[in-house]
Amino acid sequence: MKYILILACSLLSFSIFAQKPCEYSANVTDSIGTYKSTKEYLLYEKVFGGNSNYIFGSLALTDGLPTLTLQFIQKSKDFVKANCFDKNSKVFLQLQNGKIVTLIHIDQESCGSLLRDDKGFDNRVKSGIFMFGKENYEELKKSPVILMRIKYLTDTEDYIYKNEITAELDGKIYKPETYFMDNIRCIE
């Protein structure tokens, strides 16, 4: 009886600490190379006074090169300022352990697209792809991210990561601080 109880406790602890399976939006290997990308995940949400800002992230591996794709969606009845990416743009991730991980934008200028919807809102949609450096890459597996600083062409903005977000967009619960800890293994 004692052995059955120990076995049951062991199996229960394995299921509690097991990692979630990786969810991919693309996982392709062909004659050109390999590409896999995780599903988009809400990293930042700010809804205030009729203005909405969302940042979604996905991790990708293209022929062995790990990248982070960020998609920005801004919605407002007022003018939506364009923050552009250029070859000097960077993402700085400040970790809870005090270390900073720097990601470098690919050499592709982008200011996004401005679209007007049927309710009179201006919507700016913009994407940027950032490459991981070899330094501090391993730190993303060990420590939560508490702040993301983005250097745009003409501006720098800080985005504070929350431990948990109940998104107004879809009502789901997201955990941005541990996004990299939970998902970076999916592109290795």
What length is written for the chain?
188
Please tell me the distance from the alpha carbon of residue 79 to that of residue 76, in angstroms, as a whole number.
7
Please report the sign of the dihedral spanned by the C-alpha atoms of residue 112, residue 114, residue 118, residue 121: positive
Give the tens place of pLDDT for each residue, 97-150.
999 999 999 988 888 888 888 888 889 999 999 999 877 778 999 999 999 999
> Residue type at 24?
Y
What are the tokens at 30?
A: 């062909």
**Is the pLDDT reported for residue 1 higher than 80?**
no
Beta bridge partners of 59: 68
Give the tens place of pLDDT for each residue, 25-84.
888 888 888 889 999 999 999 998 889 999 999 999 988 889 999 999 999 988 788 889
Beta-carbon count within 10 A of 86 CB: 15
Please tell me the distance from the alpha carbon of residue 8 to that of residue 185, in angstroms, as a whole number.
28
Helix (H) or strand (E) holding 62: strand 51-62
What are the tokens at 138?
A: 């391993």
Predicted structure pTM score? 0.84
